Structure 1
């Protein structure tokens, strides 16, 4: 008899313990403050303990819980500094680390996917995983023709775990909010639920990876590993490896940070036009820098098809915000469903909310910093600010949710890199209509 129901119940209990643990530590910390303890020291201890529990639970459970943690990791730059450090360390671990699947399970999955003679496809196969992810892990091997390959194997019961985790996280989004101050968790969890089906069949991932590979073949800036073989729950690609982007974030030089930020920006903004596709899982664990300076892109499980390129409505909204054309911006936002029905939002309020987000496109070179993205999060998230009231009257139509999330995630990584990027030139080369009439000066 399957033990999936028992494991699912255990996962649910562990997830439920996350907010309860945070609440319990907060109550204990309040007691220590009443007893005369130092407030800042106690707050730092509570943050560190909560972060430690966050990684322990999400990393152990993998599935939707780990995917949720990975999604949070790209936004950690927006978390205020007084909370950020322990969460930063814990969340970044989730980009590439998780407890490994037992060897017997790996062999059983490969037998199910490639048949009982699967070993004859390889000259060598390393049973120790080289990397772990939310729904599978990667093993290094040598293909029968001598090529070094990466073998991605899905965890047994990944589908059930993913569904269970995301249902539970959705129910608990309010209680989990203290784990990510300043971020709206419920829409993020909803979007993850909507995308999960596509990531469970590795044949879909192989198709996307082949399409990206064909577009970027021999590209001077981007490398996509070739797909060698695929099945519903296992996939083989050529082994390519470089310096993880998380290392560049942690200790890269100014030149390395700026170069990585430029490569990532070029890949993100060029893909909708070049490939009519958008890599939709932007966290540092999916990008590496090769020795020749190119960007290695991994994990094509989450990809959006954009037959018309970047959605016209989003490009037009950016253009109107850049040019301070508030009336046209307001008309477009209402027509496209970005304003909640019955809202009394006026054009100047909408412009005041959106215009600051276009700042990176207003200069020849923009410095993406944690302080900048924190200021944006504070501006729209602090209930005392007018922009927060504006935000409550806005809506993000479902057809734009993924593109918005990926773009914000990419900007989050740029801020983690602390990169200086000529974003105006990059975006302008792929969306020239943004600057057809020239770029207005700020405040004009």
Structure 2
């Protein structure tokens, strides 16, 4: 075990060392006459190649961070993200599989030494993999085709180790994505890590979703057959591809359809289930041959017994109506503005207005170029932007909602989907239309 931990640490340690070496080489090329922009772009490309390859191999917290980063790639400048977009999108769907010995170890501990007797057939080859576990196809003892989600051995220890190590890698992420708040992202991942490691807790959330969507014409949620802390058995979901595949290869019509189903589910499910599916990365959303959206991975779920908070809907309505004086008062009343700060309505409109365009327009075209422009606009380190940013606060109860909102917007921009997003909010978010 100790050797494994040291191996993980050594891999992560190569990242800042590699960055230092690439920076030194870059300085040398600059002295030799190569343009600074070209040198910086080359450093970014090589850093990204190494960073996301190592993150994928490590799984655990490193893999989960890589998946979170892959959602936000829409916000990065095209000339920077293009060389490593393929690496990022691969992280949304797969990670290297565990060995057969590891597989046997976990299943024996969780289901008993004679665990194969629980299945009519069991495919030892993984059908899919993710940050904390992998999925195998099997046939349950009653003849049901099932997906068996198995947690990687030592996933909890690895997750804690990765998060500690990654916290020291802010310099690298600042090179790749200067506008992303790595500290806040890591804090959010760590806060939910314990829940995502408990497959019995995940099963309880999935049962709620599966019951609500049992006869839904647009959404399918696999039902749970069996769960232990590290093994989850659910009905098998036969799908053609994930939304990540549509991002890579979809036609405009396929992108719009996938975006509509994806956004409708994320926006409407809290009111229907009292829960928010809080892991919006595209690999968790599958497109079925009958046109429905299959949803998997309920390890991260926020409890919203009354659906989205009414103050959020009221705030979006004020913004969509152009009532920035009312919006400023609402932000302050609900803890979104720090005490004793002054934020003029016109200044607030200038700062937040463009980012909330999807809530104002009847039909909105999500795009990478729009998101990159907004990210650049608010992230430019000017004194004016700094003074605005330090006034904004995110109350803890909105942290997960914010993560899903931003992640979902990122995916819709990757899809380049055109949607009636305002109408979705009006139909599903309390306080928006009433």
Common topology (TM > 0.5): yes
How many residues are aligned here?
433
Q: What's the offset of the Cα at 1:38?
A: 4.8
- 2:272 corresponds to which of 248, 271, 274: 274
- Determine the structure 2 residue equivalent to 1:292: 290
- Determine the structure 2 residue equivalent to 1:154: 151
Equivalents in 1 of 2:121, 2:279: separation in Å? Answer: 30
Q: What's the offset of the Cα at 1:9?
A: 3.2
Equivalents in 2 of 1:388, 1:260: separation in Å? Answer: 37
- 2:258 corresponds to which of 235, 260, 268: 260
- 1:12 corresponds to which of 9, 14, 21: 9
Whether the 8 Å CA contact 1:170–1:190 is kept in 2: the answer is no
> Measured at CA, do residues 377 and 57 of structure 1 come closer, stay the same or move farther in structure 2, by a change above 3 Å?
same
Residue 212 (str. 1) matches residue 209 (str. 2)? yes
Whether the 8 Å CA contact 1:248–1:257 is kept in 2: the answer is yes
The SS at the match of 1:263 is helix
Whether the 8 Å CA contact 1:105–1:156 is kept in 2: the answer is yes
Equivalents in 2 of 1:413, 1:106: separation in Å? Answer: 32
Residue 52 (str. 1) matches residue 49 (str. 2)? yes
Q: For structure 1, which segment, 360-369 or 335-344, has the greater mean C-alpha deviation from structure 2 after superposition?
A: 335-344
Deviation sequence 1:66-125 (CA, Å, 0-9, x none): 000101111100001111113322121111222211101101111110111211111111
Residue 315 (str. 1) matches residue 313 (str. 2)? yes
Residue 304 (str. 1) matches residue 273 (str. 2)? no
Equivalents in 1 of 2:344, 2:171: separation in Å? Answer: 29
The SS at the match of 1:308 is coil
Residue 144 (str. 1) matches residue 144 (str. 2)? no
Equivalents in 1 of 2:361, 2:317: separation in Å? Answer: 15
Relative to the length of structure 1, the TM-score reads 0.93
Whether the 8 Å CA contact 1:131–1:138 is kept in 2: the answer is yes
Q: For structure 1, which segment, 132-141 or 239-248, has the greater mean C-alpha deviation from structure 2 after superposition?
A: 239-248
- Determine the structure 2 residue equivalent to 1:187: 184
Equivalents in 1 of 2:310, 2:141: separation in Å? Answer: 47
Equivalents in 2 of 1:169, 1:112: separation in Å? Answer: 30
Residue 235 (str. 1) matches residue 252 (str. 2)? no
- 2:407 corresponds to which of 406, 409, 428: 409
Deviation sequence 1:164-218 (CA, Å, 0-9, x none): 1112223433553223232111111101110111011100111111110011111
Equivalents in 1 of 2:368, 2:419: separation in Å? Answer: 14
Equivalents in 2 of 1:65, 1:150: separation in Å? Answer: 24
- 2:83 corresponds to which of 81, 86, 92: 86
- Determine the structure 1 residue equivalent to 2:175: 178
Whether the 8 Å CA contact 1:19–1:176 is kept in 2: the answer is no
Whether the 8 Å CA contact 1:202–1:232 is kept in 2: the answer is yes
> Measured at CA, do residues 293 and 93 of structure 1 come closer, stay the same or move farther in structure 2, by a change above 3 Å?
same
Q: For structure 1, which segment, 123-132 or 355-364, has the greater mean C-alpha deviation from structure 2 after superposition?
A: 355-364
Equivalents in 2 of 1:396, 1:332: separation in Å? Answer: 13
Q: For structure 1, which segment, 214-223 or 44-53, has the greater mean C-alpha deviation from structure 2 after superposition?
A: 44-53
Equivalents in 2 of 1:63, 1:306: separation in Å? Answer: 27
Deviation sequence 1:283-306 (CA, Å, 0-9, x none): 111111111111111111111110
The SS at the match of 2:343 is coil
Whether the 8 Å CA contact 1:321–1:354 is kept in 2: the answer is no
Q: What's the offset of the Cα at 1:388?
A: 4.5
The SS at the match of 1:304 is strand
The SS at the match of 2:67 is helix
The SS at the match of 2:432 is helix
Whether the 8 Å CA contact 2:271–2:307 is kept in 1: the answer is yes
Whether the 8 Å CA contact 2:312–2:431 is kept in 1: the answer is no
Task: Name stretches of at least 5 consecutive residues in structure 2 with no aligned partner.
Answer: none
- Determine the structure 2 residue equivalent to 1:380: 378
Whether the 8 Å CA contact 1:227–1:236 is kept in 2: the answer is yes
Q: What's the offset of the Cα at 1:380?
A: 1.0
Task: Name stretches of at least 5 consecutive residues in structure 1 with no aligned partner.
Answer: 437-444
Equivalents in 1 of 2:105, 2:388: separation in Å? Answer: 53
